[in-house]
Structure 1
Amino acid sequence: MPSGPRKRRPRVLYLAYYFPPSRASGVFRARATANHFAEAGWDVTVHTAPREFFETYLENACDPSLEETVDPRVTVVRPPMSYYAWEKDIRQFGKLRRNFPTVAASLYKLFQSKVFPEHYLTWIPGVLSSAVKAHFKEKFDLVIATGNPFVSFAAAQALGRLLKIPYAVDYRDSWTFNQFTEELKFEEGSKAFEWEAKVLRDAAEVVFVNDGMRQWHIDRYPYAAERMTVVPNGWEPELLGESKYDPPATDRPLRFGYLGTVTSYLPLETLFDGWRLAREHPLLRDAELNIHGHLGFFPPDVAPLMERLPLEENIGVHYRGAFSKADGKDLYTQTDALVFCVPGARYVTSGKVFEYMATGKPIVSVHRPDIAASEVLENYPLWFRGSELTPGEVAKSFIAAAEATRAGDSTQHALAVKHAHSYTRAATLGPLEERMRKLVEESR
């Protein structure tokens, strides 16, 4: 008997402004989401920023090796946009801005205050045009948007209403409050809050990276509480591989390492004060603390951050420069224990902690004890943290980690890796994909 018609694959439009080759921190979650849905049998189309935005307007903001890790089944579309907020070359200015710069600036600010308060607003017209054209050629079943920037949320809400399809939004970061300082970013009643309320009112699901952020939004938008979920960040076995137990040689100094972007929010002074104290211990007297990663996200960030690194003190602190995602596996292998230094706030998890756990190596925490990442690390057997964020407590953590590293314990390593496996991208994204598939089936 002839078989029936083949069931059409569900089709998702994924709005992710920051996507490879961008090296922005949120790229890893976006890349993993697109890849996971493609692997699960979805037809995935990603709308992201034009390549020239990362290559020309954001200096040193690309990691070409990341682009190679995007599943070839994922279709990547880069709608055009205006670069008004980033363009510094007067030869590229339009007539109005060239001849009447003050008037142009006033009109631009007025447009933002009345429409949407983000510079990335100029991306929306291209996204809407491209998405609508693609939808009428082959129907999308779902829109997922990840932020920041949050113009992607506005575009998802507009497309959901226009195309009459469900949409979900994924908060990699908070929109209207600063998760590092726990202060509001905008005045009450501002356009940003108006847009956020509208987006959450209509969204089929609202996703957060940790429960603290979810609870903050439940308190503010209780009408969307039942649609709010948590999808933790995770790590990629295909990029890091399986961690093998390999204790450091006894005839060389211990190597501690921080791997990740160094930002102005990090408690660097407490980190280095604690390191100075820890170096008085025999196990750490000749140890190294290697900093691997970019200094900030933009060129002006480099000099002030470099000044905060005590590279001239001869205390074993070294800045080793930036590294690509492809280099990460080797750097983890060369490092004996990892330093998890992040801004202190209850709403901070960080994506790096999941990679750290995947190594099965000791982790030294340098952050407030009540941040969201602590929940993730709670059952990690090689986690060393203080009761408060002070140099003395940081020093104790370094010493305890050094002792654990030198003692060497394959059983502890195996337990650490086992804990990390509950946070692979497949484990964290699997339930989301299943919910989105069910949502599509119910809406068809």
Structure 2
Amino acid sequence: MKRGSTPKRSPRVLYLAFFFPPSRSSGVYRARATANVLARRGWDVTVFTAPRRFFTEYIGSTDPSLEQSIDPAVRVERPDMGYFRWERDIRKFGRWRANNPVLSNVVYNYFQQHFFPEHYGSWIPRVMAKALRMHARRRFDLVVATGNPFAAFAAAYWFKKLTGVPYVLDYRDSWTFNQFTEEHKYPQGHPAWDWERRTVESAALTVFVNEGLRAWHAERYPAAAGRMTVATNGWEPELLGRATYPGPATGRPLRFGYVGTITEPMPLAELFEGWRIARRHPELADATLELYGHLGFFKQTTEALLDRIPLNGDVGVTYRGALAKTQVGEVYRELDVLVFCVPGAKFVTSGKVFEYMAAGKPIVSVHAPDIAAVDVLTGHPLWFGIDRLDPNAVANAMVAAAKAARDLTEADFEAALAHAQRYTRDATLAPLERQLRRIAGWPVSPEIAETGAAATEAAVLETASAQDVPAGTVTSDG
């Protein structure tokens, strides 16, 4: 190094992502992808996530294969937390709780009301202590917090208060708004509203997964509306690989399939009744509907969900069980038609839709016709949507998709892949990454602005600066 020169360093980000591998929660894929994209684009990435035992011992929700997909450059830290809300074994209670069960509940509820209104609040002090120690040794340039849980937002807010480091909020889910029922989660006057307002209004940028959610929050918090944007979810070629043309599905029974976590709010009644009706058609008389994935996100939901699946009738429905993320690509290749079944209405996109598109197979929609995912599916040449959520509409879409699978052309297959290519994680997150650099006070170097990212960004209104990030939408296709 020449005398007087300063050593080069990368922009340093603290990424607060409570749910991160080995967790298998629905939001973990966006968090994992964000950390990986930042690392690949030259950031020094430190992730703070939950203690491993929370996933393995308390909620029983893990996919160990996901850890193998984290970029080796990403540093993962696991600050501890309290387990009051989840610990049910009295042999593991501390002396205070064991001897004062009623009073300990009163104290716990008091802190919920007056410190932070979320069961994950005990994570915040540990996050702060570790983050401040690391920051004292080597400065962070930016904090990015993703929720839920929203304790991550509060930690980012307090960290800025103490250090001046700007932060960005990434709403994988809504805090105070139920996007499935389109109702408020909390009554007016609940402390969650005040916390959301202060964290959003103090953020350098707040990111949402679709335009509907951005618009709702912009109306609720107009002081921060100019610093709100959208970064859609996407899919990971490094996990799925590139699909290959399978040819028409002729001379054998068709295989329909759902791949993803099966949850209580899903329209399962419409799905299975629509399937029964569709199987009356000669094209589907011997077809099968195969379900892959976990039954809920928590072990206590398994039996109730299994009871809703018609496994004991002669309707061709089978439950194949859970998959490791590394097995998903193989299952997509084996199926002929993919069933996209999700709950909710216009504020719901779902992360699974992007993988479905990348498989290059016909897709049947089983959901409300106005959900946000429709914006993503529009233009996909092998998508078969419905104009209303009822069994007959579902059956008609299944029959149409079956015919498309029988007649699948290489041209339609390639057109489907071209549509999906616009939604790789690199494509959807590249414009956001450039915004993060500006907020952190780092210029976008020429080697970061590679051809693919530049082409993606050319179609995006993205003029943020570290001081002022105007309203916009960060998507892969503008």
* TM-score bracket for the superposition, by shorter chain length: over 0.9
Offset of 1:300 from its aligned partner?
A: 1.6
Rounded to whole Å, the distance in 2 between the matches of 1:118 and 1:283 is: 51
| Alpha carbons 1:115, 1:191 under 8 Å: kept | no
Rounded to whole Å, the distance in 2 between the matches of 1:160 and 1:122 is: 19
Rounded to whole Å, the distance in 1 between the matches of 2:300 and 2:94 is: 27
Partner of 1:154: 154
| Alpha carbons 1:283, 1:403 under 8 Å: kept | yes
Offset of 1:189 from its aligned partner?
A: 1.9
Q: How does 1:337-352 map to 2 (within 5 A)?
A: 337-352=337-352
Determine helix, strand or coil for the equivalent of 2:441.
helix
Offset of 1:313 from its aligned partner?
A: 1.0
Partner of 1:257: 257
2:247 equivalent to 1:247: yes
Q: How does 1:281-430 map to 2 (within 5 A)?
A: 281-430=281-430
Rounded to whole Å, the distance in 2 between the matches of 1:167 and 1:247 is: 49
Partner of 2:94: 94
Q: How does 1:77-226 map to 2 (within 5 A)?
A: 77-226=77-226
Offset of 1:404 from its aligned partner?
A: 0.4
Partner of 1:17: 18
User: Which runs of 5 or more residues in structure 1 are unaligned?
Assistant: none
Which amino acid in the other structure matches residue 89 of structure 1? Answer: D
Determine helix, strand or coil for the equivalent of 1:320.
strand
Partner of 1:52: 53
Equivalent pairs counted in the alignment come to: 443
Offset of 1:249 from its aligned partner?
A: 4.5
Rounded to whole Å, the distance in 1 between the matches of 2:64 and 2:408 is: 37
Matched-pair identity in %:
56
Offset of 1:376 from its aligned partner?
A: 0.3
Determine helix, strand or coil for the equivalent of 2:140.
coil
Rounded to whole Å, the distance in 2 between the matches of 1:387 and 1:178 is: 23
Offset of 1:419 from its aligned partner?
A: 0.5
The superposition leaves residues 209-262 of structure 1 with CA deviations (integer Å, 9 ceiling, x where unpaired) of 000000110111111111000000000001111111103552321001000000
Determine helix, strand or coil for the equivalent of 2:246.
coil
Determine helix, strand or coil for the equivalent of 1:290.
strand
Which amino acid in the other structure matches residue 179 of structure 1? Answer: Q
Determine helix, strand or coil for the equivalent of 2:24.
coil
Rounded to whole Å, the distance in 1 between the matches of 2:259 and 2:386 is: 21
User: Which runs of 5 or more residues in structure 2 are unaligned?
Assistant: 443-465, 468-478
The superposition leaves residues 279-318 of structure 1 with CA deviations (integer Å, 9 ceiling, x where unpaired) of 0111100001000000001122111111110111110110
Dislocated runs of 4+, deviation >3 Å = 1-4
Which amino acid in the other structure matches residue 363 of structure 2? Answer: I
| Alpha carbons 1:248, 1:254 under 8 Å: kept | no
Determine helix, strand or coil for the equivalent of 1:68.
helix
Which amino acid in the other structure matches residue 56 of structure 1? Answer: E
The superposition leaves residues 46-79 of structure 1 with CA deviations (integer Å, 9 ceiling, x where unpaired) of 00000011111112x1111000000010000000
Determine helix, strand or coil for the equivalent of 2:294.
coil
Rounded to whole Å, the distance in 2 between the matches of 1:190 and 1:284 is: 52
Offset of 1:344 from its aligned partner?
A: 2.5
| Alpha carbons 1:18, 1:48 under 8 Å: kept | yes
Which amino acid in the other structure matches residue 34 of structure 2? Answer: T
Determine helix, strand or coil for the equivalent of 2:388.
coil
2:29 equivalent to 1:33: no
Partner of 2:452: none
The superposition leaves residues 67-110 of structure 1 with CA deviations (integer Å, 9 ceiling, x where unpaired) of 00000100000001111101111121122210111111111111
Rounded to whole Å, the distance in 2 between the matches of 1:383 and 1:248 is: 16
Rounded to whole Å, the distance in 2 between the matches of 1:346 and 1:249 is: 34
Offset of 1:326 from its aligned partner?
A: 0.7
Rounded to whole Å, the distance in 2 between the matches of 1:109 and 1:346 is: 34
Which amino acid in the other structure matches residue 138 of structure 1? Answer: R
Determine helix, strand or coil for the equivalent of 1:38.
helix
Rounded to whole Å, the distance in 1 between the matches of 2:176 and 2:326 is: 34
| Alpha carbons 1:248, 1:336 under 8 Å: kept | no
| Alpha carbons 1:348, 1:373 under 8 Å: kept | yes
| Alpha carbons 2:15, 2:46 under 8 Å: kept | yes
Rounded to whole Å, the distance in 2 between the matches of 1:164 and 1:299 is: 41
Partner of 2:451: none
Rounded to whole Å, the distance in 2 between the matches of 1:337 and 1:160 is: 48
* TM-score, normalised via structure 2 length: 0.91
| Alpha carbons 1:16, 1:147 under 8 Å: kept | yes
Which amino acid in the other structure matches residue 411 of structure 1? Answer: A
The superposition leaves residues 303-342 of structure 1 with CA deviations (integer Å, 9 ceiling, x where unpaired) of 1111110111110110000000011011111111100000
Offset of 1:177 from its aligned partner?
A: 1.2
CA RMSD of aligned residues (A): 1.2
Range with greater deviation from structure 2 (133-142 or 432-441): 432-441
Rounded to whole Å, the distance in 2 between the matches of 1:74 and 1:102 is: 43
Rounded to whole Å, the distance in 1 between the matches of 2:244 and 2:14 is: 38
Which amino acid in the other structure matches residue 19 of structure 2? Answer: Y
| Alpha carbons 2:168, 2:206 under 8 Å: kept | yes
| Alpha carbons 1:243, 1:360 under 8 Å: kept | yes
| Alpha carbons 2:347, 2:372 under 8 Å: kept | yes
